[in-house]
Amino acid sequence: MSPARPAHEQPGAIPARVPYDEYGNLLPSTSGVDPDRIDWRPPDPFTLPLRLQDTHGLRGITRPITWKDPHGPSTFPMFPDDLARTVKGTVIDHGLVVGATWVPLVRRDRYGIGLKSFHEQEDPAPEPPPATPAEEATARYIDREHVVRLIRAAFTVGEPEEDLPPDLTNLIRHIREDRP
């Protein structure tokens, strides 16, 4: 936790395990809950349409905002400071936040969900396949010819290569014959 920012403004960390109860509700805290009733699950991101159920008091880490699954009994707490980012960064259709990916977070021993950032939601660009030897040779040829044109443009004024000084002719010949 950064000492420069209060705990309720910390970005949160993805915990190793997240506490759920037997109904699928994410527990905001494990204090006061029978340890046998806690189902510890991995913090897998999930995509569910959620409806804002309760805002309690909108300040303080101990008063979470509650989101509810409209098609089931599950509820999910959220840290109050994440609400503005959620409303600004999602599509809300008839009171439901749709198409968002949620991530379980932990801050100061409190659990909640947060909106997964848009750059984290996108699939990474596929790695381009490695170039074939023919493509590499073509790229080297194009690069060499570009260098030859630059040399000719810098040291001559449209003269044919036969009229160049011997040093420049040798340089151009060595550039064109360059082998990897």
Does the pTM surpass 0.75? The reply is: no
Q: With CA atoms as reference, report the closest residue to 12 among 87, 108, 102.
A: 108
Under a CB-based contact definition with an 8 Å cutoff, are residues 176 and 161 in contact? no
> pLDDT digit of tens for each residue in the chain (180 aa)?
445 555 445 556 788 889 999 988 999 888 888 888 999 999 888 999 999 888 876 666 567 889 999 998 999 999 888 888 888 888 888 889 988 889 998 888 889 998 887 545 555 557 778 888 888 877 777 777 777 787 777 776 566 666 777 887 888 887 777 655
